[in-house]
């Protein structure tokens, strides 16, 4: 049987980005640039590579810049066209390819990732969908992680999450899965726990910002009790989904940058600059000279 394609991807982007203040006082953290593209554009490009045609942004009150970024910039495009700057005009127009539909919904209160996903339900409907957290930038070369997850769903019809090995001391920062075994990149999981202490963690496999979920997750989120901070955790609903339908994980190959932290963001900026087709060589030379001067 042919599975339904993953045509819709949800981007929870309502967070305030307080770790980057004052840079994020008036600009969304998802608009922070890594070289010459904002974080949200890398996420959108990954979704499109996985086959998405509808992009659902769960936003907050200060996120208007995200809508503007993916809208037509008539004045800018006219100016570039009149000046004959076709290369720049092409870059602006390629931000959102033809045939891709952006829709926006507000998360009025900061009630957790699970609540943000639930806010997207009216726009997703009764079909499987992807979720990308733009803070988690993943360089997986020509095999984007969400595309791998979508291919797994097409083969099994089961929800699937991306995971990576972390130092056991860091399990308090993540949702952590318990795999049935670890003899390949994809594995069924027995359970998932939100931010366990190292001594309580079922493994060192941490969930990293990419999900393919069946629509059953919405009903489970509706009945998920808030945690001690009043937030609805996506992890708790996934734990229930494991019992009902089964869930897999992918231990992906690639480099993950936690761009929700200043250090991770700087690491991403350096690596992406070194690999940039226009400035990589010059930037590498600058770094060599800079290191010699320390």
Q: For residue 96, give every residue at least 6 positions away whose Cβ sits within 8 Å of its Cβ, in sequence order, or none.
A: 44, 70, 102
Listed in sequence order, the residues at least 6 apart from 11 whose beta carbon sits closer than 8 Å to its beta carbon are: 30, 40, 43, 44, 47, 55, 56, 57, 58, 131, 132, 133, 134
Rounded-to-integer distance, Cα 132 and Cα 40, Å: 10
Beta strand spans in the chain (E) = 8-12, 33-34, 37-38, 54-59, 101-106, 129-132, 136-139, 159-165, 175-179, 186-194, 205-213, 247-251, 255-258
Distances (CA, A) of 108 to 30, 59, 111: 18, 8, 9
Token digits of residue 226: 């808030």
Q: Give the pLDDT confidence score for residue 114 in this predicted structure.
A: 94
Closest C-alpha to 175, from 118, 247, 109: 247
Write the pLDDT tens digit of every residue in 59-89: 987 788 888 888 877 788 888 888 888 888 8
> Taking a C-beta distance cutoff of 8 angstroms, is the pair 242, 191 a contact?
yes
State how far the Cα of 208 lies from the Cα of 133, in Å rounded to an integer. 8
The 10s digit of each residue's pLDDT in 165-201 is 999 999 998 889 999 877 778 889 999 998 999 999 9
Q: Would you state the pLDDT for residue 48?
A: 94
Domain spans in the chain, listed from the N-terminal domain onward:
8-259, 261-294
Calpha distance 163→206 (Å, rounded): 5
Q: What string of pLDDT tens digits covers the 294 residues of the chain?
A: 345 678 999 999 988 878 888 988 888 999 999 999 999 999 999 999 999 999 999 998 778 888 888 887 778 888 888 888 888 888 888 788 888 999 999 988 888 999 999 999 999 999 999 999 999 999 998 899 999 999 999 999 999 999 999 999 999 988 899 998 777 788 899 999 989 999 999 999 999 999 999 999 999 999 998 888 888 999 999 999 999 999 999 998 889 999 999 999 999 999 999 999 999 999 999 999 999 888
Token reading at 224 = 């998920």
Beta carbons of 261 and 269 less than 8 angstroms apart:
no
Whether domain 8-259 has CATH 3.90.550.10: the reply is yes
246: left (phi over 0), alpha (psi -120 to 50) or beta: left
Task: Provide the pLDDT for residue 185.
Answer: 80
pLDDT at 1: 39
Percent above pLDDT 90 for the chain: 64
Could you write out the DSSP letters of every residue in 174-194? SEEEEES--SSSEEEEEEEEE
Nearest-angstrom CA–CA distance, 18 and 6:
32
Q: How far is the C-alpha of 7 from the C-alpha of 142, rounded, in Å?
A: 20
Coil vs helix vs strand at 277 = coil
């Amino acid at each position: 049987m042919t599975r339904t394609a993953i045509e819709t991807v949800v981007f929870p982007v309502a967070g305030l980005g307080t770790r980057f203040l004052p840079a994020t006082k008036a600009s969304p953290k998802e608009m922070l640039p890594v070289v010459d593209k904002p974080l949200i554009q890398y996420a959108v490009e990954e979704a499109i590579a996985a086959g998405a045609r509808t992009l659902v942004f769960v936003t907050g009150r200060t996120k208007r810049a995200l809508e503007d970024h993916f809208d037509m910039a008539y004045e800018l495009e006219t100016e570039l066209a009149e000046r004959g700057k076709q290369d720049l005009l092409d870059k602006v127009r390629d931000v959102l390819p033809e045939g891709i539909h952006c829709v926006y919904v507000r998360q009025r209160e900061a009630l957790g990732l699970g609540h943000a996903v639930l806010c997207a339900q009216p726009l997703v409907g009764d079909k499987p969908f992807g979720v990308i957290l733009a803070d988690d930038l993943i360089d997986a070369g020509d095999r984007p992680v969400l595309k791998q997850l979508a291919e797994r769903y097409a083969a099994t019809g089961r929800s699937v999450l991306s995971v990576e090995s972390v130092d056991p001391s860091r399990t308090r920062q993540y949702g952590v899965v318990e795999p049935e075994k670890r003899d390949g990149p994809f594995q069924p999981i027995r359970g998932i726990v939100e931010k366990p202490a190292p001594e309580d963690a079922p493994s060192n496999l941490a969930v990293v910002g990419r999900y393919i979920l069946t629509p059953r997750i919405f009903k489970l989120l509706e009945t998920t009790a808030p945690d001690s901070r009043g937030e609805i955790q996506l992890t708790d609903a996934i734990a229930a989904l494991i019992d009902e339908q089964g869930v897999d994980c992918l231990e992906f190959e690639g480099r993950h940058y936690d761009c929700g932290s200043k250090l991770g963001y700087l690491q991403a900026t350096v690596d992406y600059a070194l690999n940039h087709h226009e400035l990589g060589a010059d930037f590498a030379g600058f770094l060599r000279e800079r290191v010699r001067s320390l």
